[in-house]
Chains A and B, each alone.
Chain A
Amino acid sequence: MVLCHPIFTVPNSTQLIYRKSSWWKRNQQRLTPWIFLFPGLLLFLVYVIWPIFNSLYISLLQWDGLSPAIYVGFSNYIELLDDEYFYISLANNLKWLIFFMLAVPIGLGLAIFLNQTIFGIRLIKSLFFFPFVISQVVIGIIFAWFYNPRGVIGPFLESIGLSNYAILADENFATYGIIFAGIYPQIAYCMILYLTGLNNLNTDQIEAGRMDGAKGLSLFKNIILPQLKPATFLAIVVTVIGSLRSFDMVAIMTQGGPWGSTNVLAYYMFETALSEYGYRMGYGSAIAAVLFTIMMFYILFFIYRMYQSEKKGL
């Protein structure tokens, strides 16, 4: 593979010229990529790659961040196995994951609904996309205020006999309240991915399908959906990652409460390591390591897919 590169196949006459010229001229093709990679690679190694391994190491320590750390082996992980809040967080992560997936079909539905050419449709599409542009902090504040029983949905709740019902204070349903808020911008993201996909459909195939009498659902299932596969793949990847990164919404809306019932791993880790519950760096890192392991499956899956397409491209 390396040998096919032009530098190795230049004809003899040019090699002669190369030999005569300076060391830099001879080696610049080999060295240039590394010079260009240097700043980015250095930053990335220091701030992203090294911290991953460092965190895995810290998870084997008992450490409050100030006094000397004590090596405790796997005892943080063993403690996790008996930690009720850890299981609550893990279960909530699962709820996030499952319900977040709804963003994909809903986004697809919206995209199909909006994929028309009528006057002003561009503006309408942008307005539908709006929630994604806005900070999750703002979305969280809006929804928290929405759910306030003395606030916006109060009159509505009263009319169905639930006066003074605060979903965010109900330990059984608070998580669903947050997920509902979190899914709102995610639907917008999936919608835009599918709109792009629909825009690039192969018209000939669709027309041929229609000639053959394919209509409605069968046309959609057999011709449209397969062509939307790249969009679906991307929508699933970003939705899974979004659901596991559910920190902002939880921090804004409930801070894990009531009684830890809305905690997710991302927030629970933060809470154990950096809040009034004590600075337990080792234990926090152990939680982070679990989250990292879960995420790693998706990362590897994604990398594998990209690797396949890279191989095809070469």
Chain B
Amino acid sequence: MFPIPIQKRPLINQISYKILIPISLFIWLIPLIGIMLTSIRGLGDITAGNYWGMPSEFLLFSNIKDVFQNTPMLSYIINSFKITIPTVIGAVAVSCMTGFALASYKFKANLFIFFTFIAGNFVPFQILMIPVRDLTFQMGLYDTVTGLVLFHVAFQTGFCTLFMRNFIKALPHELFEAARIDGTSEFNIFFKIVLPLTRPAIAALSVLIFTFIWNDFFWATVLIQGQHAMPITAGLKSLNGQWVTVYHLLSAGSIMAAIPPVIMFFLMQKHFIAGLTLGASKG
């Protein structure tokens, strides 16, 4: 264990550690605490510059109601779900297959294809922007949820393939061989043996992709123009321009944008971190 467990230290260290932890946590979260405090304030507090003192009125719910009534926030949130959920399903399904193909078969192009997926995943978005936008235009999918989802699925396939392939590669291969000798078809090996075993990887990928796509801003800006398909990130940005001083509404909106990924993270914490730190403990 590194560092030495605090329990083995002198009592004074233990006490100061336990005092230091909440203080540092508070400092670390000041930006988030600030926005939460602001979201419960009224306009009066904001214009008076009362950001850190006691709120003079508790208006969280009325602020949220305001946001929903006076802005398209609700449709932004719905759009975000409409974009995120199909992308998660699509990217995970596609990459289960590519991951299986690259992990369990040997053929000449295998490593080359695998590294192409990895390399593509790190490419800067800007080098894709103009052709992808053009392509989406030509398919008649510009400014639609479908157009954005298709691109997201394709791009996320890179990362997801890396993830699934490494996971399936680590499964005991004797299992597949034994099934093959028993005459199981390759498709049944995939559906009956591999898929059930990859459930933890599927869970980890799903939460990660959910968060990535929910938080995507760039592609929403490039491929979406109108309110009817705009997700919450791009929506918040347009509200940011409109409400220069109405920070209490803006912060209520921001909190709503943050809630789904936060819930996702807390529910699936173990999977989320396992996915994110893939490779952090072994070469």
Contact = CB atoms under 8 A, between A and B. Distances in A.
Interface stretch (B54-62, B67-75, B98-106, B196-204): B98-106
B97 A247 contact: no
A196 B32 CA distance: 25
A220 B124 CA distance: 36
B247 interface: yes
A52 B233 contact: no
A159 interface: no
Interface string B83-101: 0000000000011011011
B154 A137 contact: no
A141 B248 CA distance: 12
A92 to B, nearest CB: 15
A248 B218 contact: yes
A154 interface: yes
Contacts of B25: 124, 127-128
A263 interface: no
Contact of A130 (B32, B107, B115, B154): B32
A118 interface: yes
B131 A307 contact: no
Contacts of A192: 273, 276-277
Nearest to B37: A152
A150 B31 contact: no
B206 interface: no
A48 B28 CA distance: 38
B107 A33 contact: yes
A168 interface: no
A167 B273 CA distance: 35
A47 B217 contact: no
Contact of A115 (B3, B119, B215): B3
Nearest to B9: A116
A43 B240 contact: no
Nearest to A306: B118
Nearest to A274: B222
Interface residues of B, number: 101
Given A48-B128, A135-B215, A151-B51, A41 B237 contact: no
Describe A's contact surface by its main secondary structure. helix
Contacts of A200: 281-282
Interface in B196-247: 211, 214-215, 217-218, 221-222, 233, 236-237, 240, 247
A142 B254 contact: yes
A116 B38 CA distance: 33
B233 A134 contact: no
B3 A112 contact: yes
B161 interface: yes
B32 A303 contact: no
Contact of A37 (B101, B236, B237, B283): B101
B126 A291 contact: yes
Contacts of A256: none
Contact of A299 (B119, B131, B221): B119
Nearest to A137: B233
Interface in A178-208: 184, 189, 192-194, 196-201, 203, 206
B123 A52 contact: yes
The 5 closest A-B CB pairs, nearest first, are A47-B154, A51-B131, A40-B98, A43-B154, A200-B281
10 contacts: A33-B102, A43-B154, A48-B123, A51-B131, A141-B251, A142-B32, A145-B38, A206-B1, A288-B130, A292-B123
